[in-house]
Every structure is written in structure tokens, then in C-alpha cells.
Structure 1
Amino acid sequence: MIGVLAHLFEERVMTMTDRDNQQADQNAAIKDPDEWVTGDEPPTAAQESYLHTLAREANAEIPADLTKAEASKQIDELQAETGRGQ
């Protein structure tokens, strides 16, 4: 019986540790675009494509010559406007 309880406790601790590590990884992945090392680079092809899709849905204009960081912020704004980011 003690062996079973010890095993269950060990599984529970591992599950909690895994969850904590996963949450820490997710928090680390969310950074302010202004802090991106590559934020001043041109937007990625995926960002540009998604921006055009969102802008079309929102009836919005996309500013020319956006940086990668600016494109990310614009995507966030348009997602909020179109309801896609929820």
C-alpha cells in the first residue's frame, strides 16, 4: 500500500512539475514585440499574408514598410477588431 501511495505521489509531483514547466515556457514565449531582437526586420511572409487577410475582413488599410514588430502589433489590433484572436 505504501508503495502504491508513493507511486501516486510521484506521478502527482511530476504532473505538477510538468504543468509548471509548460506554463513557464508559454510565458517565456510571449514577449513584447518592442523587445524582439529581430523586431526591426521586415515582416515574415506569414505575417504579411495574415495581415492582408485580417485587413480585408476589417476593411482596414495596412501601413507600408512595417517592421516585424509593427506587423505583430497590427495583427493583434486587427484580431481584436475582427474577433479572430479570441
Structure 2
Amino acid sequence: MAKTSNKTTMFLSMVLILSLILGVVVKKAESAVNCDAVVGVQSGETCFSIAKAFSLSTEFFLSINPNVNCKALFVGQWLCVSGSPN
């Protein structure tokens, strides 16, 4: 009887883990950004300078570029400059 109990516990644990993973994946898909226009980073540009050039607040710029690392921009990197965060 202990083997059945262990199998049941293991099965329920796997179902719980898969449910949590699925929940994270679905949440990420829902948080996609709608980007209407992009710009390529030029030498010497920063997140702040790009946001300013397109009359965007820093907060809005970061909301439409949620995965950008402003400390590691590189020339040619595409950044969203018009759109809407979800």
C-alpha cells in the first residue's frame, strides 16, 4: 500500500509543478507589448536619450521595452519607440 501512496503523491506533485509552469508561461504571453515603431541604437545613445528624442517618459519607454538592459545597449539593437504595454 505504501507504493501506491508514493506513486499518488509523486503524480500529484508532478501535476502541481506542471500547473505552476503553465501559469508562468501563460502570464508571460499575456504581458506581451504591442510595438508600433522601432529604432536601432546608434553609437553613444542611451535609453534616456532615445526616450527624450521621441518625447517619451522614461517610465513609458521602459514599459514598452520590458527586457531592455539600459546599462548594456549595443549599436544596432532594436528598441520600441511607439506602442502600448499590456
**TM-score range relative to shorter protein:** 0.3 to 0.5
Taking structure 2 as the reference length, the TM-score comes to: 0.48
| TM-score normalised to structure 1 length | 0.48
Structure with the larger helix share: 1
Higher strand share: 2
